[in-house]
Every structure is written in structure tokens, then in C-alpha cells.
């Protein structure tokens, strides 16, 4: 793959954000943002603007029954079914287990005033080698106010659940992960509404030491951060 | 294993609903459909120009989102643009099967109602759309066309170059300049 530097990425960034970059250019751009937090933040910012353009698409009332037909289709078709057919027999089961652990962690921290992701463990999953359970850290504003929680579950790959309380400043939040060695990695951009928000992140690296998370507003001001003890 | 279909709290982000779908929560899936179906159906209708085909496209879009929700990566764009990309790709396949001629870009742009809002739209959506329309109207016409053809209809710079009969470099410049200016305009709007 051709490596892309920041200057070349700058030329390709708008097309990436609009979803029209293709082939080797797209691969190179994605590879670049995976290792360059600045360009990743720029890509997220441009993607936010590109996303707003979708408001121009005229909404039309969907045909009656579409929602119920889809609900029935969802009940009959497991998520990831198409992809699973290409995989081994055992992988999907393990995948389901750590998804459920993330859901269980979400349920555990859902208290009054918080938004819960709505997933619940309905059966205790079998133990997974290397499972280190879950850890919770409080999200605090720079002034020390309680703004929410972050929960990490350590399964074969870790999940991170970020919960922002109702009443937090609304708008787009940029989420950064603080990892061992003092590095800070851009994770993604999320919208927070007056009722708060919650999002679940599948952490991209399996065994790194996650120290905490930081939420930053569009102007680069820290909104809240959390540190795992 | 299926998740219990309990009512979900309001205000969950798209990303949270998608995570729920990836875990098999049908409630998350139906909430996701409810939130996006009018936009997906609207885009499908614009792209294929037929209500029946648009309904099939919308249904297949959500089935694919359900199946592949776990592969969504927020670093590479919003859930909404991911969903629109699925719809566009399905529309391209459908059009290949049903008709060979390319869609006239003027016909596509006319359907976006850059001048008027959709009265059936939700008030908030109308306000959002009006802000975007105003920002788009502030661009030179060639830039408007380029960025809208790219953002809403998924046309690549090469395709826009052919449609508009301009050099590829010009198409890229129009797209880039337009999006950068729109970002600045929308940020300014948000500050006011």
C-alpha cells in the first residue's frame, strides 16, 4: 500500500469525509488516519460537515408496515449472519459472548438519570481465557463535577462504554483515549443531546493499557475526562 | 441468543443503537429504523424514482445495517452517511438491473429542493435543512453542484468530472473548496 503523508491526506480528506474516495487512495487515507490523530480529527470534523449535507435529502414517509417487517426480519436473522458464514464455527460464539459482556456492564452502571445502552445479559456466558472483568471510571468536568461514566470490559477484545449524563453541554464531542506511555488517540466524534448520550466503542487494540478517556468539544476545550485507577 | 425487546430510553446516539443491533437487540434495531426510515426511503426514492423499488431498497438497507452493524467504524464517518452509502450502493446495483442510462445530474439536484423545504418534515429537521440550504446557497453554483452530487448521491470526483465535463482536478478542487467553506459556514452558524 502507498503511504500517505499529512499533505497528501489534506488533498484527499474531503473526498474521504464525503465517502467518495475509492480504491488505493481510500485505503491509504484510512491507514494514515489510523496513525495520525491530527488528521483523524480533521477527517471527523469534515465528516461532520458532510453529514449535515444529508439534511438536504428530502424525507418521505416510509410505507406502512416497513418497520414491522424489518423487526420480523431482525428476529429471524441474527446480526452478522452474512459475515459469519465465512468464518469458523467457534468465532461467532465468542464474539457474542464479549458483546454480551459489554451489554452487562452497561446495565450495571445504568442508574437514575443516566442513559443505558439497553442491552442486558440474559444468560451467564462461559468464562473466557484472559478475561479481566470490567472497570468503571467517573467522567468529571475540569471543575470536578460528575459528568458520566466510562466502563471498560476486558474480553478477548475490550469494549469501552461512554455514558454522558443528561444536562451535559450538547453538541458534538470528540472522544480521545489515553493509553500507556502518555499517548492520546482520537477515537471518534459523537453527538450529545440534552438527554445525554451513550456510545459503545470496540477498542481497536487488544492488549494495550487503557488509562482513561477524554471528551473534547469542537473548539478543543476539554468537557470531561475519566481515569481508570 | 436474542436480546430482550425492552423499550429503549430516548436520546440514545446512533452509535449506541448500532451497538445494540450488533448485539442482537431487536428493540435497538426498530428504534434505529424508526429514526432513519424516512431519510433512507427518501434517498432511495430520489435515486430510483419508483416507490416500490425504493421500499425494497430501504428494507435491504436496514437488513444490511443489522447484519453489518458491528463493522461500522465511527472514525470513518457518521452512521447516517454510512447508511446512505449502503442505500446508494444498493441503488446503483438496482439501476444496473433495471435500466442502463445514467441519471441526469440536474434531475437529481432538482429533487433536493434547494429552494424549498419538505412540508412533511419534522420542524427540527426543517430548521437543520434550512441552515444547510442557506450555507449551500452561499457557494458558487459549480461548487454547489459538485458537493451535493458527492455528498447526497455518492458521485466520485471522476464521475462528477465526466458529468460536468470538467477536468478531474477541477472537480476535486470544487468538491474540496465547497466542503471546507460549508464547514466554516455551518460552524459560524452554530456560534451565533
* Tens digits of residue pLDDT in A134-147: 677 888 999 988 88
Selected residue with higher pLDDT from B180 and A89: B180
User: What does the alpha-carbon distance between residue B165 and residue B158 come to, in Å, rounded to a whole number?
Assistant: 10
Selected residue with higher pLDDT from B103 and B162: B162
Number of C-beta neighbours around residue A220 at 10 A: 8
CB distance B23–A79 less than 8 Å? Answer: yes
Which residues of chain A does B9 touch, with a Cβ-Cβ cutoff of 8 Å? 115-116, 118, 195
Q: Chain A window 118-137: which residues touch B at a Cβ cutoff of 8 Å?
A: 118-120, 122-123
* Lowest mean pLDDT across A69-73, A211-215, B7-11: B7-11
Name residue, grid cell 488517540: A185
Interface test with B, best of A39, A74, A148, A155 (most B CBs within 10 A): A74
Cell of residue A32, nine digits: 494514515
Which residues of chain A does B68 touch, with a Cβ-Cβ cutoff of 8 Å? 80, 82-83
pLDDT at A101: 36
Question: Residue B49 region, left (φ>0) first, then alpha (ψ -120 to 50), else beta?
Answer: left
pLDDT score of A158 more than 50: yes
- Closest CA in chain B for residue A100: B23
**DSSP tag of A58:** P
Looking at residues A8-37, what average pLDDT do you find?
90
Instruction: Measure CB to CB from residue A66 to each of B9, B58, B157 and give the nearest one.
Output: B58
A160-183 pLDDT, tens digit per residue, is 778 888 788 888 888 888 887 777
* Chain A nearest CA to B101, separation (Å): 21
Residues 6 or more apart in contact with residue A77 via CB below 8 angstroms? B63, B66, B67
CB distance B67–A11 less than 8 Å? Answer: no
Looking at residues B8-23, what average pLDDT do you find?
75
User: A202-210 contacts: CB < 8 A, separation 24 or more?
Assistant: A202/A157, A202/A159, A202/B70, A203/A152, A203/A157, A203/A158, A203/A159, A203/A160, A203/A177, A204/A34, A206/A156, A206/A157, A206/A158, A208/A179, A208/A180, A209/A179, A209/A180, A210/A152, A210/A158, A210/A160, A210/A177, A210/A178, A210/A179
* Chain B nearest CA to A148, separation (Å): 14
* Lowest mean pLDDT across A7-16, B128-137, B156-165: B128-137
The mean predicted confidence, pLDDT, of chain A is 71
Q: To the nearest whole percent, how much of chain A has pLDDT over 70?
A: 69
pLDDT score of A108 more than 70: no
pLDDT score of A16 more than 80: yes
B78-123 pLDDT, tens digit per residue, is 888 889 989 988 888 777 666 545 556 676 666 665 434 444 444 5
pLDDT at B167: 96
CB distance B136–A66 less than 8 Å? Answer: no
Q: How confident is the model at residue B185 (pLDDT cuts 50, 70, 90)?
A: very high
Selected residue with higher pLDDT from B18 and A6: A6
Looking at residues A3-30, what average pLDDT do you find?
90
- Closest CA in chain B for residue A23: B156
Most confident of A80-84, A123-127, B26-30, B107-111: B26-30
**Burial call B95-106: b when 16+ CB within 10 Å, e when fewer:** beeeeeeebebe
Selected residue with higher pLDDT from B6 and A71: A71
- A221 interfacial to chain B (CB closer than 8 Å): no
Give the DSSP H or E segment for B31: helix B26-48
pLDDT at B2: 38
- Closest CA in chain A for residue B185: A49
Q: Is the pTM of this model over 0.90?
A: no
**DSSP tag of A219:** T
- Nearest in space to B147 (alpha carbons), one of B116, B189, B181: B181
Name residue, grid cell 467457534: A90
- A64 interfacial to chain B (CB closer than 8 Å): no
Instruction: Measure CB to CB from residue B67 to each of A83, A197, A201 and give the nearest one.
Output: A83
pLDDT at A224: 92
pLDDT score of B158 more than 90: yes
- Closest CA in chain B for residue A78: B24
Cell of residue B3, nine digits: 436480546
Q: Are A4 and A29 in contact (CB under 8 A)?
A: yes
pLDDT score of A152 more than 50: yes
pLDDT at A129: 28
B118-138 pLDDT, tens digit per residue, is 444 445 555 677 888 888 989
H-type alpha helices, A110-209: none
pLDDT score of B4 more than 80: no
pLDDT at A125: 27
pLDDT score of B156 more than 60: yes
Q: Report residue B140: phi and psi, to 5°.
A: -60, 145
- A200 interfacial to chain B (CB closer than 8 Å): yes
User: What does the alpha-carbon distance between residue A197 and residue A165 come to, in Å, rounded to a whole number?
Assistant: 7
User: What does the alpha-carbon distance between residue A12 and residue A20 come to, in Å, rounded to a whole number?
Assistant: 10
**DSSP tag of A86:** T
- Closest CA in chain B for residue A26: B76
**DSSP tag of B113:** -
* Lowest mean pLDDT across A7-16, A39-48, B75-84: B75-84
Selected residue with higher pLDDT from A206 and B35: B35
ipTM: 0.80
CB distance B175–A14 less than 8 Å? Answer: yes
pLDDT at B170: 96
CB distance A20–B150 less than 8 Å? Answer: yes
Looking at residues A111-131, what average pLDDT do you find?
27
Selected residue with higher pLDDT from B44 and B192: B44
Cell of residue A209, nine digits: 493499557
Q: Are A160 and A212 in contact (CB under 8 A)?
A: no
pLDDT at B173: 96
Amino acid at each position: 500500500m502507498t503511504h500517505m503523508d499529512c499533505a497528501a491526506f489534506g488533498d484527499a480528506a474531503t473526498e474521504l469525509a464525503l465517502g467518495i474516495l475509492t480504491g488505493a487512495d481510500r485505503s491509504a487515507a484510512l491507514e494514515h488516519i489510523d496513525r495520525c490523530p491530527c488528521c483523524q480529527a480533521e477527517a471527523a470534523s469534515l465528516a461532520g460537515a458532510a453529514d449535515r449535507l444529508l439534511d438536504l435529502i428530502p424525507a418521505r414517509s416510509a410505507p406502512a408496515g416497513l418497520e414491522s417487517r424489518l423487526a420480523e426480519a431482525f428476529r429471524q436473522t441474527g446480526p452478522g449472519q452474512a459475515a459469519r458464514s465465512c468464518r469458523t464455527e467457534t468465532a461467532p460464539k465468542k464474539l457474542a459472548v464479549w458483546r454480551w459482556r459489554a451489554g452487562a456492564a452497561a446495565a450495571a452502571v445504568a442508574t437514575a438519570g443516566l442513559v443505558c445502552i439497553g442491552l442486558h445479559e440474559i444468560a451467564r456466558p462461559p468464562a473466557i481465557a484472559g478475561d479481566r472483568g470490567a472497570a468503571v471510571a467517573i467522567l468529571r468536568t475540569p471543575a470536578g463535577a460528575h459528568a458520566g461514566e466510562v466502563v471498560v470490559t476486558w474480553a478477548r477484545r475490550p469494549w469501552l462504554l461512554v455514558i454522558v449524563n443528561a444536562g451535559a453541554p450538547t453538541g458534538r464531542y470528540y472522544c480521545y483515549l489515553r493509553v500507556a506511555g502518555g499517548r492520546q488517540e482520537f477515537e471518534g466524534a459523537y453527538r450529545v443531546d440534552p438527554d445525554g448520550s451513550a456510545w459503545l466503542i470496540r477498542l481497536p487494540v487488544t492488549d494495550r493499557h487503557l488509562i482513561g478517556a477524554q471528551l473534547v468539544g469542537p473548539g478543543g476545550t476539554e468537557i470531561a475526562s475519566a481515569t481508570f485507577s | 441468543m436474542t436480546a430482550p425487546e425492552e423499550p429503549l430510553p430516548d436520546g440514545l446516539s446512533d452509535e449506541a443503537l448500532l451497538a445494540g443491533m450488533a448485539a442482537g437487540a431487536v428493540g435497538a434495531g426498530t428504534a434505529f429504523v424508526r429514526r432513519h426510515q424516512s431519510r433512507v426511503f427518501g434517498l432511495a426514492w430520489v435515486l430510483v424514482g419508483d416507490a416500490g423499488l425504493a421500499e425494497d431498497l430501504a428494507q435491504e438497507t436496514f437488513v444490511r445495517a443489522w447484519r453489518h452493524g458491528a463493522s461500522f467504524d465511527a472514525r470513518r464517518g457518521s452512521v447516517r452517511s454510512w447508511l446512505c452509502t449502503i442505500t446508494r450502493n444498493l441503488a446503483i446495483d438496482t439501476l444496473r438491473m433495471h435500466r442502463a442510462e445514467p441519471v441526469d445530474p440536474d434531475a437529481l439536484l432538482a429533487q433536493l429542493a434547494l429552494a424549498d423545504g419538505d412540508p412533511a418534515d419534522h420542524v427540527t429537521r426543517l430548521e437543520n435543512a434550512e441552515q444547510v440550504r442557506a450555507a449551500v446557497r452561499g457557494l458558487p453554483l459549480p461548487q454547489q453542484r459538485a458537493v451535493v452530487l458527492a455528498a447526497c448521491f455518492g458521485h466520485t470526483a471522476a464521475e462528477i468530472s465526466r458529468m460536468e465535463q470538467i477536468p478531474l482536478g477541477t472537480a476535486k478542487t470544487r468538491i474540496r473548496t465547497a466542503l471546507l467553506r460549508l464547514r466554516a459556514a455551518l460552524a459560524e452558524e452554530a456560534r451565533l
